[in-house]
């Protein structure tokens, strides 16, 4: 079994800005900043998936239609459970369409979408004891995205490590 999800990875400038925000917020919120390499937007979390399904999921990923857009992250939020401080922004029609289309495609492969509402966000601080004092980022971050990735989460000492298994490359 492999722990899988579909994600969007940030461009380098967004990754640096998000890592800086996480480093600044961790002492304020308690907890620890996510490593810059782990910052992403999860579009679909699949959980534990049998390795026999990897080929089909990889094919779905590599055949995904081209897209390119940007999303402005300008606010901070807190999920009390699982104790995460995150960055997000105004609702994005592109992210919502990607999320919905992905789950529609995944349904054809036997996956069931979650019942909760999609809240696109980037986790910044894990094990946060409290939310950030501010509710907005000091400087908005424009995240440019243009490819979908199938990612494996490997749990180990020091937290999760992510490995891209497939992505659309043009």
Catalytic residue among 78, 109, 121, 147: 121
Q: 40, 99, 109, 147: which is the annotated catalytic residue?
A: 40
| Run of H or E residues at 93 | helix 93-107
Identify the helix (H) or strand (E) that includes residue 105. helix 93-107
DSSP string, 133-147: S-SEEEEEEEEEE--
121 is catalytic: yes
Nearest to 33 by CA among 21, 50, 16, 15: 21
d(CA 5, CA 26): 25
The residues that bridge with 141 in the sheet, in sequence order, are: 73
Residue 109 annotated among the catalytic residues of the structure: no
Beta strands in 15-158 (DSSP E): 32-33, 41-49, 69-79, 84-88, 122-126, 136-145, 149-156
Active-site residues, by number, are 40, 121
């Amino acid at each position: 079994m492999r722990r899988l999800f579909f994600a969007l990875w940030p461009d380098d400038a967004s990754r640096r800005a998000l890592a800086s925000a996480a480093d600044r917020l961790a002492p304020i919120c308690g907890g620890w900043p996510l490593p810059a390499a782990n910052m992403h937007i999860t579009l679909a979390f699949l959980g534990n998936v049998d390795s026999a399904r990897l080929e089909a999921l990889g094919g779905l990923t590599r055949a995904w239609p081209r897209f390119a857009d940007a999303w402005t992250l300008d606010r901070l939020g807190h999920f009390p459970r699982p104790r995460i401080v995150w960055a997000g922004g105004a609702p994005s029609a592109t992210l919502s369409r990607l999320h919905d289309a992905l789950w529609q495609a995944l349904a054809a492969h036997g996956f069931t979408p979650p019942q909760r509402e999609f809240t696109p966000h980037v986790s910044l601080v894990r094990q946060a004891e409290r939310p950030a004092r501010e509710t907005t980022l000091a400087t908005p971050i424009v995240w440019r995205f243009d490819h979908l990735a199938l990612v494996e989460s490997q749990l180990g000492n020091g937290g999760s490590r992510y490995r891209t298994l497939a992505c659309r490359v043009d």
